């Protein structure tokens, strides 16, 4: 196995274990919303997509996330507005990730979507 793959697997295992330890509060019912968000900053090669995916799955949010060629990360996420706010605040609190800018637009809801995934 190449050293790069070994380090990626170690990082991924770390991220997954950290997400399992997050104390997710009980959320009151809130408006369901869908956002399209583009993140810029130190958001690639740091476990950003995996962390969001794992946290979104735990919180029963739906959508997708992917890397862009320019170094940004693009995401669509759907669920209760307060849950999405919690996820975004949490991601902003991480030291290994540096979100410099977050462009956020409201999108139409997708009722057939079942899960959150990395594209």
Domains in the chain, number: 1
Which domain covers residue 92, as residue numbers? 3-23+30-118
**pLDDT for res 1:** 61
Looking up residue 62, the CATH number of its domain turns out to be 3.30.70.100
CB within 8 Å of 62: residues ≥ 6 apart? 56, 77, 78, 79, 110, 113, 114, 115, 116
Among 12, 67, 72, 82, the active-site one is 67
DSSP secondary structure code for residue 30 in this structure? -
Residues facing residue 42 across a β-bridge:
98
Q: How many CA atoms lie within 13 A of 97 on its CB side?
A: 24
**Predicted structure pTM score:** 0.88
Which residues of the chain, if any, have pLDDT below 70? 1
49 noted as active-site residue: yes
CA atoms of 82 and 59, how far apart (whole Å): 11
Give the dihedral of Cα atoms 56, 60, 63, 69; nearest 10 deg: 10
Per-residue model confidence as pLDDT tens digits over 61-88: 999 999 999 999 999 999 999 999 999 9
111 noted as active-site residue: no
């Amino acid at each position: 196995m190449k050293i790069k793959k070994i380090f990626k697997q170690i990082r991924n295992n770390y991220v997954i274990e950290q997400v399992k330890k997050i104390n997710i509060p009980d959320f009151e019912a809130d408006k369901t919303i869908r956002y399209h968000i583009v993140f810029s900053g130190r958001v690639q090669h740091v476990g950003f997509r995996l962390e969001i995916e794992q946290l979104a799955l735990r919180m029963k949010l739906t959508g997708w996330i992917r890397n862009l060629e320019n170094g940004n990360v693009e995401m669509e996420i759907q669920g209760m507005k307060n849950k999405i706010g919690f996820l975004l605040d949490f991601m902003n609190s991480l030291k290994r990730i540096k979100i410099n800018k977050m462009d956020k637009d409201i999108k139409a809801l997708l009722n057939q979507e079942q899960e959150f995934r990395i594209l």
